[in-house]
Amino acid sequence: MDKLTITKPDDWHVHLRDGELLGDALRHTARQFARAVVMPNLSPPVTTVAAAKAYAQRIMQACKLLEPSEIGHFEPLMTLYLTDNTPPDEIEKAKAAGIVGVKLYPAGATTNSAAGVTNIALCDATLAKMAQIGVPLLVHGEVTSAQIDLFDREAVFIEEILHPLRLRHPKLRVVFEHITTEQAVEYVMNADTQQLGKIAATITAHHLLYNRNAIFQGGIRPHYYCLPVLKREHHRQALLKAATGDSERFFLGTDSAPHVTRSKEQACGCAGCFTAAQALELYAKAFDSVGKLQQLEAFASFRGPDFYGLARNTEQVVLEKKPQEVPHQYAFGAEYITPLNAGQTLEWTFLG
């Protein structure tokens, strides 16, 4: 197969940042995707509907400043950042404003999560409201306890937080974001959605393509460091099988998380891989590696909108099997970002 034509995809998990960085993050996502679920971990975080509406306006404004030839029609799907104090009332307002989900960041789990949830039990009234009126909970699924090994934090989260939470709120719909382990694949694949709410998971391209060795290949490779961190090869294999399989519970979320090169290449570097500029090429590489390109459209373009109850896109895009060299850097505000795979050759090229 030399050309792949698919329904235009959406990114169900992305970081677009804000201020002078917004346009430079957005241009890459808006080139490949019709819609994107925009994560609320700004500083300060997007904790109210008013803040989410204002952020959506800044995104639309930034869209207008981009070259029309550079991007297609783009729609941001907004989220709220859950805190210990998010009132149930705010959920009612969120639903009315078309906010697609509320994001749980356990406090201290990742970039800009300091204002996140310290104890999920504090959120029970708010979660009950979400379950009642149908606002999904999007979860960063890692415990934060220093006693738990970094590589075990997702598996422990399932047992200690996620499953008890679904039992307490049997109607709550959940998206387990950027899953990285076979335990998460198994949990989502086998989850009871008759008695309990629907559950799905997003999977990044980098977790489909790399295992944890990539972070240490011949030296320390900060651009391969993200949270949840890359895991062992058998976990990657489980993710690849889930993404390319027939379950409608797994769909595309790049978790593209740009940080300026200077703050990645540091004694204490930031977590996040920037993949938005070659997102579909990277997913195509992963699917092609197991001869499952024919499954890419369902993963990238159908299962996400189906889960969220939104219409599928109608436009089409084309990927061609034509080599491209990934640039070493892209402009990012007054500085630069380094894409994952900088300087490498990818086999596929997104034509639009």
Binding site for Zn ion (CB under 5 A): 255
- Confirm or reject binding of residue 15 to ligand NCD (CB under 6 A): yes
Return the residue of 7, 79, 86, 110 that touches ligand NCD, per CB under 6 A: 110
Of 61, 54, 10, 19, nearest to 258 (Cα)? 19
Distance (Å, rounded) from C-alpha 262 to C-alpha 29? 22
* Interface of this chain with ligand NCD, residues 267 to 286, rule: CB under 6 A: 271-272
DSSP character string of 11-22:
EEEE----GGGH
Q: With respect to Zn ion, which residue has the nearer C-beta, 90 or 255?
A: 255
* Distances in whole angstroms, Cα of residue 25 to Cα of each of 43, 207, 222: 16, 21, 19
> Measured from the CB of residue 92, what is the shortest distance to ligand NCD in angstroms?
27
Dihedral pair phi/psi, residue 180, rounded to 5°: -135, 0
Chain-centroid distance of CA 8 in Å reads: 17
Radius of gyration of the chain (CA): 19
Q: Is 246 a known active-site residue?
A: no
Q: With respect to ligand NCD, which residue has the nearer C-beta, 37 or 240?
A: 37
Q: With respect to Zn ion, which residue has the nearer C-beta, 182 or 255?
A: 255
- Confirm or reject binding of residue 263 to ligand NCD (CB under 6 A): no
- Confirm or reject binding of residue 111 to ligand NCD (CB under 6 A): yes
> Measured from the CB of residue 191, what is the shortest distance to Zn ion in angstroms?
22
Distance (Å, rounded) from C-alpha 232 to C-alpha 174? 25
Q: Residue 191 binds which one of ligand NCD, Zn ion, none, with CB within 5 to 8 A depending on kind? A: none
* Interface of this chain with ligand NCD, residues 188 to 227, rule: CB under 6 A: 226-227
DSSP character string of 292-322:
-GGGHHIIIIIHHHHHHT-PPP--EEEEE--
> Measured from the CB of residue 295, what is the shortest distance to Zn ion in angstroms?
24
Which residue among the candidates 10, 11, 24, 255 is catalytic per the annotation? 255
Structure token digits, residue 319: 């990927």
Of 43, 34, 42, 41, nearest to 12 (Cα)? 34
- Confirm or reject binding of residue 140 to ligand NCD (CB under 6 A): yes
The Cα diameter of the chain in Å comes to: 53
Q: Residue 111 binds which one of ligand NCD, Zn ion, none, with CB within 5 to 8 A depending on kind? A: ligand NCD
Return the residue of 255, 261, 301, 339 that touches ligand NCD, per CB under 6 A: 255
Q: With respect to ligand NCD, which residue has the nearer C-beta, 240 or 257?
A: 257
How many positions of this chain bind ligand NCD (CB under 6 A)? Answer: 11
Residue with tokens 């090869």: 233
Rounded (10°) angle between helices 233-244 and 182-190: 30
Of 243, 223, 213, nearest to 151 (Cα)? 213
Q: With respect to Zn ion, which residue has the nearer C-beta, 36 or 130?
A: 36
- Confirm or reject binding of residue 23 to ligand NCD (CB under 6 A): no
Q: With respect to Zn ion, which residue has the nearer C-beta, 123 or 276?
A: 276
Return the residue of 41, 144, 180, 338 that touches ligand NCD, per CB under 6 A: 41
Distance (Å, rounded) from C-alpha 181 to C-alpha 306? 24
> Measured from the CB of residue 285, what is the shortest distance to ligand NCD in angstroms?
20
> Measured from the CB of residue 15, what is the shortest distance to ligand NCD in angstroms?
4
Distance (Å, rounded) from C-alpha 215 to C-alpha 150? 14
Nearest residue to Zn ion by CB is 255
- Identity (one letter) of the amino acid at 238? A
> Measured from the CB of residue 218, what is the shortest distance to Zn ion in angstroms?
27
Per CB under 6 A, residues contacting ligand NCD are: 15, 41, 110-111, 140, 226-227, 255, 257, 271-272
Give catalytic residue positions: 255
